[in-house]
């Protein structure tokens, strides 16, 4: 995490109260809905401040820590049991998918801060996560605070992403390392390829 700019973060009483209300809404009105009720869940997320560009697909078991820190592009998908720990902003670009059991973690604790000698808590640090357009974060991936995943990138299952990922790159492993470029089939029309 030393390469990522993390800033100390304080969670206000107002923020805590808003999250309590959100958790009740999530538990009673979001989580029990059938999978096909994406528009209803979009409505609830927007009600709590999420910025959603167009139709998107957030599955009922997805956990959003603070919807007001979530931005979704058109046709973005957050799959089953995804955990969006959105202490800082989490942006998911258009046509991108975050698959089941992935963890988008925009905050951690500064275990090197000498303040831990004065009390029981480690200071909270937070940094935004950005996932570009047409990217795919596959199943059970951990994305650390401050990471940017470029357009068209693919993160292979069970990877740990602690550094930025270039556009149209396949990454995998713990920590994630480049596996090569994301190559589209040759039958794809040239006008569909990114510049």
Q: Is 75 a catalytic residue?
A: no
Buried-exposed string 27-63: b where 16+ CB fall within 10 A, e elsewhere: eeebeeeeeeebeebbebbeebebebeeebbbbbbbb
The helix or strand, by DSSP H or E, that contains position 16, with its residue range, turns out to be: helix 13-25
φ and ψ of 188, to 5 deg:
-70, 140
Q: In whole angstroms, what is the distance from residue 102 CA to residue 129 CA?
A: 13
| Selected catalytic residue, list 10, 38, 75, 109 | 109
3, 51, 172 from 108: Cα distances, Å? 14, 24, 22
Q: Are 63 and 45 in contact (CB under 8 A)?
A: no
Active site residues: 109
């Amino acid at each position: 995490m030393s390469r990522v700019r993390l800033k100390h973060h304080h969670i206000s009483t107002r923020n805590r109260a808003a999250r309590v209300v959100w958790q009740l809404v999530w538990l009673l009105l979001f989580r029990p809905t059938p999978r096909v009720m994406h528009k209803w869940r979009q409505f609830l997320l927007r009600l709590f401040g999420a910025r959603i560009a167009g139709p998107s697909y957030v599955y009922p078991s997805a956990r959003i820590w603070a919807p007001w820190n979530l931005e979704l592009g058109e046709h973005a998908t957050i799959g089953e049991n995804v955990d969006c720990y959105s202490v800082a902003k989490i942006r998911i670009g258009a046509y991108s998918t975050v698959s089941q059991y992935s963890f988008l973690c925009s905050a951690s604790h500064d275990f090197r801060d000498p303040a831990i000698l004065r009390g029981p808590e480690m200071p909270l640090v937070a940094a935004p996560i950005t996932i570009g357009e047409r990217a795919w974060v596959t199943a059970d991936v951990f994305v650390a605070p401050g990471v940017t995943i470029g357009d068209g990138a693919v993160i292979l299952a069970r990877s740990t992403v602690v550094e930025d990922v270039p556009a149209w790159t396949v990454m995998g492993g713990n920590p994630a390392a480049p596996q090569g470029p994301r190559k589209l089939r040759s039958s794809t029309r040239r006008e569909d390829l990114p510049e």
